[in-house]
Amino acid sequence: EFRRVLFRSSEATWQDLLPGRPEPYFLEAGDGERAIVFDQLFTVLLSKDETDGQFGAFTMEARQGQLIPAHSHVKDHETFYVVEGSLKVFVEDHDGNQVSRVLNAGDFAFVPATYIHAFRVDAPYAKVFGACTAGFERFFHELGQPTDDTGAPTVPFIPPMEQMIGAFQKFGNIPKLDQQWKE
């Protein structure tokens, strides 16, 4: 039997939105576990629970904005597949060499764990699909605020400092607030 999972719009909660175990299910456009993180909407489509700890999948939607703070992940890999719009991804390797690339719809980038990186939405609107190391998809829940809104947020959510520190520690994210990027 296949499940169709719906977001209960009457309350912003993640409980029971995804099956929580490996079984077939379907999501319609906009469905999933949604959280606002700063000026971005993250929707978890698939978590480590549905993949027996193999990987997670999510989307990010945002309007044109500022560069997100540079950071690296202790153990988590991250991907960027642009579905709509464009964004610029910045990466620094372990020798300090920097590269940046504008990604348009259909373009893809991979950032392995431990590489310093950041991105900025360069189009009026962008939607990005990401696959990640299992469990990392929950970082957006820890850092953000649950929402029943769909689409790029019009009102940002700035998490309290304690929430940011807790999320970064729990998920092994290392902020690089003094990072300078070459355009």
| Predicted local confidence at residue 102, as pLDDT | 98
| Predicted local confidence at residue 11, as pLDDT | 45
Q: What is the 3-state secondary structure (H, E, C) of the chain?
A: CCEECCCCCCCCCCCCCCCCCCCCEECCCCCCEEEEEECEEEEEEECCCCCCCCEEEEEEEEECCCCCCCEEECCCCEEEEEEECEEEEEEECCCCCEEEEEEECCCEEEECCCCEEEEEECCCEEEEEEEEECCHHHHHHHHCEECCCCCCCCCCECCCHHHHHHHHHHCCEEECCCCCCCC
- What are the per-10-residue average pLDDT scores of the chain (183 residues)? 42 70 92 93 95 96 93 95 98 96 98 97 97 93 90 91 93 94 87
Q: What does pTM read for this prediction?
A: 0.89
